[in-house]
């Protein structure tokens, strides 16, 4: 069978160009696929001084899951998460044997891409990339479908594994798809985020026109980055949900501006935050206060998202000695149907701690610890929870939460 590796050789010699130096100092490196989404929205996020993040539990878990997927694809080893769906998706429509961790470099000036190697641990330049002109990436998994005779479409599938809770940024997939299309002469590409924790998938299909559009947008961004690099002031920072995980957060003038405007809004003349002053507000003043409240809420949301992203990379120090950092939290949810069945059966027994009527009140259509405690009392709820747990009616989910904790 013709594999991706055998097809990549024809592209291996492209783009041996000189590295430009900008302002005679450090050269600009273009963002990689995992960073491109934020840069497409906020150019400043790539041009302001960024800090390196220390590896945290979330990142390590992600690295491990990617290594497991690579081992599963390349060596048939079992992963700690279900890969059946991943292999089925890659093999659909007569896909080639999939390949994992394939590093590519895409040049938006020539609209070409080449393969750098496999499993190179993001060391793109060591493997020949020129990141001042090439966008680099590692495809978690790829398979291709090449028509057996002239005229048949050449298509590919690229998959990006996501281990976190947040949604992936579609620009990452767009860049992956475009590079795969150019490296392997594909007419169209189907691309997906695969969420290992839930087995859920988000997928897109892009044809030649879409891919050409992505190429143009990437070239525009490259040009804008080169033009702005090393110049002051930096381009305007554009705040939003993408601020989470932004490595320039600590140096971002917009974030500082947001915090300042928040303070200014809440103390503005005519809008006091004292509860006693509310009685003296006219309807018009209250309307102004409402508008400011709404804008302050939006500001707070952005500030929180940015600070949480900052804390994901390095703990924030609080004045009382605590630190704000990601912790693993657990959430238990009760399956209302199982709870009702198991408790109704128990209630029918002689000497049961609760009646069928109470079970009916506490369970359907949903059931929670609170509803059980409210209706059955503390002891009854404890017994009920034990029974529901034994019947497999309690699902425990773990997730990351950013919180202030003791160091």
Binds ligand SF4 by CB under 6 A, chosen from 15, 163, 188, 239: 239
Q: Does 313 bind ligand SF4 (CB under 6 A)?
A: no
Q: Which is nearer to ligand SF4, 197 or 259 (CB)?
A: 259
Selected range binding ligand SF4 among 65-73, 136-144, 244-252, 379-387, rule: CB under 6 A? 244-252
Q: Which is nearer to ligand SF4, 101 or 308 (CB)?
A: 308
Q: Does 255 bind ligand SF4 (CB under 6 A)?
A: yes
Q: Does 243 bind ligand SF4 (CB under 6 A)?
A: yes
Indicate the angle between helix axes 208-228 and 170-184, nearest 10 degrees.
Answer: 110
169 near 203, Cβ under 8 Å? no
Q: Does 262 bind ligand SF4 (CB under 6 A)?
A: no
Q: Does 28 bind ligand SF4 (CB under 6 A)?
A: no
Selected range binding ligand SF4 among 108-116, 239-247, 262-270, 390-398, rule: CB under 6 A? 239-247
159 near 90, Cβ under 8 Å? yes
Q: Does 108 bind ligand SF4 (CB under 6 A)?
A: no
Give the pairing of strands 99-107 and 112-118. antiparallel
Q: Does 100 bind ligand SF4 (CB under 6 A)?
A: no
Q: Which is nearer to ligand SF4, 68 or 308 (CB)?
A: 308
How open is the CA angle 183-126-228, to the nearest 5 degrees? Answer: 75
Q: Which is nearer to ligand SF4, 281 or 303 (CB)?
A: 303
Q: Does 254 bind ligand SF4 (CB under 6 A)?
A: yes
Q: Does 11 bind ligand SF4 (CB under 6 A)?
A: no
Minimum Å gap between C-beta 256 and ligand SF4 is: 9
Binds ligand SF4 by CB under 6 A, chosen from 42, 113, 115, 334: 42
Q: Does 38 bind ligand SF4 (CB under 6 A)?
A: yes
Q: How far is CA 193 from CA 39, 51, 145, 167, 203, in A?
A: 20, 27, 19, 8, 6
Q: Does 238 bind ligand SF4 (CB under 6 A)?
A: yes
Minimum Å gap between C-beta 302 and ligand SF4 is: 8
Reduced 3-state DSSP string for the chain: CCCHHHHHHHHCCCCCCCCCCCCCCCCCCCCCHHHHHHHHHCCHHHHCCCCCCCCCHHHHHHHHHHHHHHHHHHHCCCCCCCCHHHHHHHHCCCCCCCEEEEEEEEECCCCEEEEEEECCCCCCHHHCCCCCCEEEEEEEEEEEECCCCCCCCCEEEEEEEECCCCCCCHHHHHHHHHHHHHHHCCCEEEEEEEECCCCEEEEEEECHHHHHHHHHHHHHHHHHHHHHCCCCCCCCCCCCHHHCCCCCHHHCHHHHHHHHHHHHHHCCCCCCCCHHHHHHCCHHHHHHHHHHHHHHHHHHHHHHHHHHHHHHHCCEECCCCCEEEEEEEEEEEECHHHHHHHHHHHHCCCCCCCCHHHHHHHCCCCCCHHHHHHHHHHHHHHHHHHHHHHCCCEEEEEEEEEEEECC
Minimum Å gap between C-beta 46 and ligand SF4 is: 8
Selected range binding ligand SF4 among 40-48, 85-93, 124-132, 316-324, rule: CB under 6 A? 40-48
Q: Which is nearer to ligand SF4, 90 or 237 (CB)?
A: 237
Minimum Å gap between C-beta 164 and ligand SF4 is: 18
Q: Which is nearer to ligand SF4, 42 or 144 (CB)?
A: 42
Cα 133 from Cα 106, distance rounded (Å): 8
Q: Does 194 bind ligand SF4 (CB under 6 A)?
A: no
Cα 117 from Cα 183, distance rounded (Å): 12
Binds ligand SF4 by CB under 6 A, chosen from 44, 65, 105, 271: 44
Selected range binding ligand SF4 among 27-35, 58-66, 243-251, 333-341, rule: CB under 6 A? 243-251
Binds ligand SF4 by CB under 6 A, chosen from 79, 246, 342, 388: 246
Q: Which is nearer to ligand SF4, 248 or 338 (CB)?
A: 248
Minimum Å gap between C-beta 253 and ligand SF4 is: 8
Q: Interface residues for ligand SF4 in 47-66 (CB under 6 A)?
A: 48
Q: Which residues bind ligand SF4 (CB under 6 A)?
A: 38, 42, 44-45, 48, 237-239, 242-243, 246, 248-249, 252, 254-255, 306
């Amino acid at each position: 069978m013709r594999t991706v590796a055998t097809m990549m050789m024809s592209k291996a010699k492209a783009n041996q160009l000189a590295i430009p130096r900008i302002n005679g100092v450090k050269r600009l490196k273009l963002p990689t696929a995992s960073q491109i989404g934020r840069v497409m929205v906020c150019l400043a996020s790539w041009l302001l001084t960024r800090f390196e993040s220390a590896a945290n539990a979330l990142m390590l878990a992600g690295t491990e899951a990617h290594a497991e997927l690579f081992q599963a694809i390349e060596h048939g080893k079992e992963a700690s998460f279900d890969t059946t769906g991943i292999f089925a998706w890659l093999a659909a429509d007569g896909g080639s044997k999939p390949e994992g961790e394939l590093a590519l470099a895409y040049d938006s000036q020539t609209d070409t891409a080449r393969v750098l190697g496999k499993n190179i641990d993001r060391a793109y330049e060591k493997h020949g990339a020129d990141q001042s002109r090439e966008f680099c990436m590692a495809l978690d998994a790829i398979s291709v479908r090449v028509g057996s005779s002239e005229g048949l479409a050449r298509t590919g599938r690229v998959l990006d594994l996501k281990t976190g809770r947040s949604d992936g940024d579609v620009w990452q997939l767009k860049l992956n798809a475009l590079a795969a299309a150019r490296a392997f002469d594909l007419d169209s590409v189907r691309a997906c985020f695969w969420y290992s924790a839930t087995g859920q998938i988000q997928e897109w299909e892009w044809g030649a026109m879409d891919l050409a559009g992505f190429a143009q947008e990437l070239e525009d961004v490259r040009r804008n980055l080169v033009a702005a690099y090393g110049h002051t002031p930096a381009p305007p920072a554009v705040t939003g949900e993408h601020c989470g995980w932004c490595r320039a957060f600590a140096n971002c003038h917009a974030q500082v501006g947001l915090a300042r405007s928040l303070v200014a809004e809440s103390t503005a003349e005519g809008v006091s935050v004292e509860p006693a002053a509310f009685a003296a507000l006219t309807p018009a003043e209250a309307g102004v206060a409402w508008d400011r409240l709404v804008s302050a809420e939006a500001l707070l949301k952005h500030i929180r998202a940015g600070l949480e992203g900052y804390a994901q990379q390095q703990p924030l120090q609080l004045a009382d000695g605590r630190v704000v950092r990601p912790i693993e939290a657990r959430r238990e949810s009760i399956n209302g149907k199982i709870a009702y069945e198991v408790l109704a059966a128990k209630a029918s027994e002689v000497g049961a701690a609760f009646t069928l009527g109470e079970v009916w009140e506490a369970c359907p259509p949903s059931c929670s610890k609170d509803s059980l405690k409210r209706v059955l009392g503390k002891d009854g709820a404890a017994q009920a929870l034990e029974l529901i747990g034994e019947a497999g009616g309690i699902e425990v989910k773990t997730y990351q939460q950013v919180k202030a904790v003791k160091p």
